[in-house]
Amino acid sequence: MAFLEEDYYICAKIGQLTPRNETTNGTSPQEIVERDKRVGQCKSDAQIIAWIVFVALIVAGTAMIVWKKCHFKDKLLIESKSLIVVTLFMSR
């Protein structure tokens, strides 16, 4: 999942990050602190989105399994009732 690799999300939201050890020409310390805050917020957002997607997939998968089990259970019950009726009818 791309959201777990928060670098992709940060790049999409803010733009390419420059390494900290590079000199930033014309960038004030306040701008650097502000950018670091935005990067931190984007990392948090990426993690939250990743967990939401993960939980949604788990819930959807569980719902599909439960639906499948219940759907086939009804079919088996209908088939078994039909078999009983046919057997009773044929025995007369």
pLDDT at 31: 85
Residue 13 domain boundaries: 6-17+28-91
Q: Is residue 22 domain-resident?
A: no
pLDDT in tens, 33-61: 888 898 889 888 888 988 999 999 999 99
CA distances to 23, 25, 37, 79, 82 from 69, rounded to whole Å, are 61, 63, 48, 15, 20
pTM above 0.75, yes or no: no
Question: What is the C-alpha separation between 48 and 55, in angstroms, rounded?
Answer: 11
- Domain count for the chain, please give it: 1
Q: In the chain, what percentage of residues exceed pLDDT 70?
A: 61
Question: What is the C-alpha separation between 31 and 25, in angstroms, rounded?
Answer: 12
CA distances to 18, 22, 23, 65 from 26, rounded to whole Å, are 14, 12, 9, 57
